[in-house]
Amino acid sequence: MGEVVKYLVSHQGKLLSDRFSEPLFGVRPFDDVECEAQYPLAEGVSLLVLETEPPELLALDLRSKLAEVDETEFGLLARAAQIAVWHDRHRYCGHCGTAVEADAVELAKVCHACGLSVYPRISPCIIVLVVDGERCLLAHNPRFPPGRFSTLAGFIEAGESAEAAVAREIREEVGVEVCNIRYVTSQAWPFPHSLMLGFLADYAGGELTPDGVEITEAGWFTRDNLPDLPPRFAISRLLIERFIEGRY
C-alpha cells in the first residue's frame, strides 16, 4: 500500500486546472506528458512541472481560487505557484551561467560547475494600516478597481528592517509620519513570490499627500464610512477588520 499522492501541475510558471477550475488532481492524469521536474509540496502532494501543456487543461485563475479555499489549501497553492514561477525563471546559474539542476535532497537548484545553490525566491513586503484614534488611513492605487481603497504596501529594500520599510513606504506614498509600529501577522502572496508582513502603526503627523504614482488618492475613514475594501482572504482586509473590531 503506497501513500495516496495528489498532484498540482504547472507549465511555463503557471498552475493549471481541470475544466471545473480544480487545480488538485487525485491521480497523475497524463501518462503521455513529459515532466521537467517534480517538487514535494506537502505530505502526499507534489508539483509536476510539465514540458508541454495538455490541451484538456486550463490556466488556473489563482486569485479567484485563493478567495474560496481554507488556510491549508491557501498555503498549498501559494507554495505551488511560487515554486512553479521559480522553476520557470531560474534555469541557469547566476554566477557562471551553467544550466542548474534540481537538488536531490533540498528544495533548491544547484550548479554542478561552481557549486552555487539557489532556493525559491521569496520577496518580503510590508503592508500596513495606519490608525489615528477612531479613523484609519486607506489609499487608492491606480491598479485597483475604481472606488477600491486599501492599506499601504511596499517591498523591503536591501539592508532595511521591516519597521524601517513601514515608516519609509508611508512617508513616500502619502507623506505622513508614524510611530508605535507593531507586527500583526503575515501571509504568502504568490503574485509572484511575495511574503506580506502585516503591521499596524499610529499616525504621528504630516499632511496626507498622495505621491500620484503608487497612490492617487488617500483619505481617513471611520468605521461607518468605509469605502469598497479588498476581498476577505487578503491580509490587507484582515488588518482593516481588526480596526473595525477595535483590536488595534
Binding residues vs Zn ion (CB under 5 A): 93, 95-96, 98, 111, 113-114, 116
Return the number of the residue (114 or 213) whose C-beta is nearest Zn ion: 114
Return the number of the residue (54 or 97) whose C-beta is nearest Zn ion: 97
Q: How far is the CB of 114 from Zn ion (least distance, A)?
A: 3
**Angstrom distance (rounded) from CA 183 to CA 166:** 10
Q: How far is the CB of 116 from Zn ion (least distance, A)?
A: 5
Q: How far is the CB of 86 from Zn ion (least distance, A)?
A: 17
**Angstrom distance (rounded) from CA 187 to CA 178:** 23
Return the number of the residue (21 or 98) whose C-beta is nearest Zn ion: 98
Return the number of the residue (113 or 244) whose C-beta is nearest Zn ion: 113
Q: How far is the CB of 101 from Zn ion (least distance, A)?
A: 11
Calculate ∠ Cα 51-52-58, nearest 5°. 125
Q: How far is the CB of 95 from Zn ion (least distance, A)?
A: 5
Return the number of the residue (5 or 113) whose C-beta is nearest Zn ion: 113
- Is residue 199 within 8 Å of residue 184, measured between CB atoms? yes
Radius of gyration of the chain from Cα atoms?
21
Taking alpha carbons only, the member of 227, 204, 205 closest to residue 217 is 227
- Is residue 81 within 8 Å of residue 189, measured between CB atoms? no
* DSSP element (H, E) containing 89: helix 71-89
First to last CA, the chain: 51
